[in-house]
Amino acid sequence: MSKTAKLDLGDKTIDLPVIEGTEGEMAVDISKLRAQTGYITYDNGLGNTGSCLSDITYIDGEKGILKHRGYTIENLAAKSTFLEVSHLVYAGNIPSKEECDALKSQIKENSKIPEGIKSIIKSFPKDAHPMGITSAAMVALSGFYPDLLDQDLTDDQKKKAFPLLMGQLKTIAAAVYRHGQGKDFIESNPKLDYTSDFLYMMNGEEPNEDVAKALDVLLVLHADHEQNCSASTVRVVGSSKANLFASISAGIDALWGPLHGGANQAVLEMLDAIKQDGGGYEKFIAKAKDKEDPFRLMGFGHRVYKNFDPRAKVIKDYCDVVLEKLDVQDPLLDIAKGLEQTALSDEYFAQRKLFPNVDFYSGIIYKALGIPTNMFTVMFALGRQPGWMAQWKEMIEAPGMRITRPRQVYTGKTDEEL
């Protein structure tokens, strides 16, 4: 017998279906609630609302678990490359050697951006925020690939779109960085792997192998994260049958917000504030413990993970490798390491599970690589694009897909007259 939940509304009781996920998560299906009762539900921020059925990513925030298609993030980071994880998220399987070789070849063929996109990037002021330029370039791609604007893409078109956008965003991101530096763009080097090529297009030099590996793992850790703000935005925009470029551009815009993708930027801004104050991070540890002080340590704790962020566990060691290989001497990084060591050994933080999260370590890595703070969120977008595309693809292929249209509880004036 299927499970149901009983809801009492005055003198009426109705049965609501209960959906059980494969990891044991339970959800009450209220899709017919309004039709049956005239009631809707109210859920500010939608934190208790399941907006879709998905088999891409699973998160258990209480236990600190993150899985893609059943594979733990620790397993994927240790044994797979960013391209392999991207294929897993989008296509549903770890690619075979033949599939992986074909994907690499297709991405390399799509790593040269149209001259018109270069002109759009160059038309922005050099001090324009990189996320604004990236979003504009992404949606502008729609003008250069009209065959991907059909309302209902074929399987072949979806297969074409994946390597196309993977190659294009990599080059766009590097070009946006170069533009901000006032430097000429660098063409893709087909001899290099995905992440090494991106670093090459940024700096014009083949990167250290260990550094490139660390960045590749960081991209793996960002590949998808369930129904976060930007993934949900991609789904909402895509549900109107807007094209893929517009949907991904909308995801970039959502990620731009400081409450979402801007967290690693906030970490560096906090470290800079500590430096300007004199560099004494112990003072700020004390401020963080003071309930009367509004100061918050950025990059510690996580809204979803009530335990240690599993991505932070993975990237911590790679962060140490990057700092060692690059031999970077930077007072901000010294402050960051001091904060990390103090927080990890302090009972106050342990009891509250305020451990460094992935944003803390990613900010440090980007800083060590010489990437400007305002480019951090573009790096995040580069890693998250496979997840956005996967969420979009799953949504448009779902049986009975409908345009997203939430309800509201009206609280305005009534019966006004002129």
Instruction: Give the DSSP H/E element, type plus range, for residue 128.
Output: none
302 in catalytic set: yes
pLDDT at 146: 96
Task: Tell me the CA end-to-end span of the chain in Å, nearest whole number.
Answer: 58
Closest CA to 151 of 249, 243, 250: 243
Closest C-alpha to 382, from 83, 78, 70: 83
Dihedral Cα 196, 202, 203, 205, nearest 10 deg: 30
Q: What mean pLDDT comes out for the span 293-321? A: 87
| pLDDT score of 36 more than 60 | yes
Q: What are the strands, taking DSSP E only, across 149-216?
A: none
Active site residue 87: no
Mean pLDDT, the chain, integer: 93
| pLDDT tops 60 at residue 303 | yes
Element (H, E) at 144: none
Please report the pLDDT score of residue 86 as a whole number. Answer: 98
* d(C-alpha 218, C-alpha 85), whole Å: 12
Phi and psi for 66 in degrees, rounded to 5?
-135, 125
pLDDT of residue 329: 78
Produce one character per residue of 275-313: b if its CB has 16 or more CB atoms within 10 Å, e if not. Answer: beeeeebeebbeebeeeeeeeebbbbbbebbeebbbbbb
pLDDT tens sequence across 72-119: 999 999 999 999 999 999 999 999 999 999 999 999 999 999 999 999
Question: In what side-by-side order are the strands of the sheet with 4-9?
Answer: 4-9, 12-20, 26-28
Per-residue pLDDT at 265: 85
pLDDT on residue 398: 95
- Of the candidate ranges 223-237, 330-344, 400-414, the one whose mean pLDDT is the lowest: 330-344
Integer Cα distance of 396 and 179 in angstroms: 35
Is pLDDT above 90 for 350? Answer: no
Residue of higher predicted confidence among 356 and 58:
58
Could you give the C-alpha distances from 392 to 8, 114, 305, 378, 379, in angstroms and in order?
37, 24, 25, 20, 20
Nearest to 251 by CA among 58, 395, 73, 91: 395
**Mean pLDDT of all residues in 301-306:** 83
* pLDDT tens digits for range 325-347: 988 878 887 888 888 888 888 88
Higher pLDDT, 352 or 100: 100
The four Cα atoms 30, 32, 33, 38 give a dihedral, to 10 degrees, of: 160
Residue 147's pLDDT is what? Answer: 94
- Reduced DSSP (H G I as helix, E B as strand, rest coil) percent helix, strand, coil of the chain, to 5: 55, 5, 35
Take residue 418 and report the two structure tokens written for it: 């002129």
Active-site annotation holder among 197, 216, 224, 359? 359
Q: Domains (ranges, CATH) in the chain?
A: 4-50 (2.20.28), 72-256+377-397 (1.10.580.10), 263-368 (1.10.230.10)
More confident residue, 297 or 168: 168
Catalytic residue among 302, 330, 334, 346: 302
Residue 130 has pLDDT above 50, yes or no: yes
- 8 A C-beta contact, residue 224 and residue 390: yes
Q: What is the dihedral of CA 364, 366, 367, 372, to 10 degrees?
A: -140
Instruction: Give the single-character DSSP code of 375.
Output: G
- Residue 2's pLDDT band (cuts 50, 70, 90): low
Q: What is the CA radius of gyration of the chain?
A: 23
